[in-house]
Amino acid sequence: MVGKLTAVMMALGAAPLVMWCFGSAKPLAVGATTPGVLDDTDGDFLPDVVEWAVTTNSNSPDTDSDGIPDFVEVVQHGSPRCTDYPIALDHEVRVVVTAPSVGAADQTAWLHLLVRFATAAPQVDALDVWFETPWAPGVRLPLGSLFAGGVFSQRVTPEDGLWVLASAPLVDAALLQTLLPFGIYAEAVVGGEHLETGVCLLDVQGTTACIVPFGPRSQGRYAFQSIAPPVTMAAATNKVCVLDLQEVGSGPGGVVYEIVDADCEDANELECGVSCSQSVGWILTVPGGQAALRGN
């Protein structure tokens, strides 16, 4: 089991840290970070900042109380806020980008790679993570080396496979905002299975937001979500901006979508900006299209 963590680290170019892991059969964390940055209040293996960015509840390990842990629903692009059809035990990977709350002393944005292994010892044949912007289509800036300064942890579960979380500091959140819009994507070959995932970030009237799957998978809907939690939860609006995307074409930068509907819908402890409805008509280019946003 431990070999999978080291395999992930090696595939990401974090080989210097590999030796830290050998010989341990217990869940472990490698690396160090500013205290509090990766706090996990409910102990579900998703840091609080990640839970905000993917719209799960950081005070509940199973946001929709359907018996499927938040980590599984998130890594497999499920619907953690509404009961949906069962999620098969499978290899999967997901990329999440987070930023600290406004005013926090450390304003570093973080990149997180969530991996679920369905079996104890699948072969990891490839794992790549890269930055890509619609303005330079097809140009992939590799990010794997960032994880050399990252934090790695793993959890072995009785029924839900082996979970690995790799988190790495990116850049200052303000600098990240100047790069919008862009996406960070990952692809892997695990046990002969090709996996791909991505997160698409854009500026929503001054806020760095990501587009995340939201609601039942059958509906294929998404939500705008800020990558930085509010300073206090009291600042949230209990709603989230839910989008309908319509494919309108494709180009060298990826699949082109138009936002054809956007409404603030109830979602406890989340937020919905006043700009939500104004996003109707926006055109988005997503490398990899919805397959990347939704996972395999």
Q: What residue ranges bind Ca ion (CB under 5 A)?
A: 40, 42, 44, 46, 62, 64, 66, 68
Rg (CA), the chain: 18
Tell the smallest beta-carbon distance from residue 127 to Ca ion (Å).
Answer: 24
Residue 180 CB, shortest distance to Ca ion, in Å, is 27
**H-state helical runs in the chain:** 2-11, 48-54, 70-75, 173-178, 289-294
Pick the closer one to Ca ion by CB: 64 or 271.
Answer: 64
Minimum distance from CB of 150 to Ca ion (Å)?
18
Taking CA atoms, 157 is separated from 28, 154, 161, in Å, by 14, 10, 6
Cα(31)–Cα(11) distance, integer angstroms: 17
Residue 274 CB, nearest approach to Ca ion (Å): 29
Taking Cα atoms as reference points, which of 133, 129, 162, 174 lies closest to residue 147? 129
Give min distance, CB of 268 to Ca ion, in A: 14
Nearer CB in complex with Ca ion: 163/185: 163
Choose between 40 and 160: whose C-beta lies nearer to Ca ion: 40
Closest to Ca ion by CB, 63 vs 226, is 63
Residues in the chain: 296
Per-residue CA distances from 292 to 66, 153, 155, 219 (Å)? 25, 24, 25, 16
Q: How close are the terminal C-alpha atoms of the chain, in Å?
A: 23
The residues, ordered by sequence, that sit 6+ positions from 67 with a Cβ below 8 Å of its Cβ are: none
Cβ-based nearer residue to Ca ion, 62 or 269: 62
CB of 53 vs Ca ion, minimal distance in Å? 12
Between 67 and 206, whose beta carbon lies closer to Ca ion?
67
For tokens 């997160």, the residue is 199
H or E stretch at 263 = strand 254-266
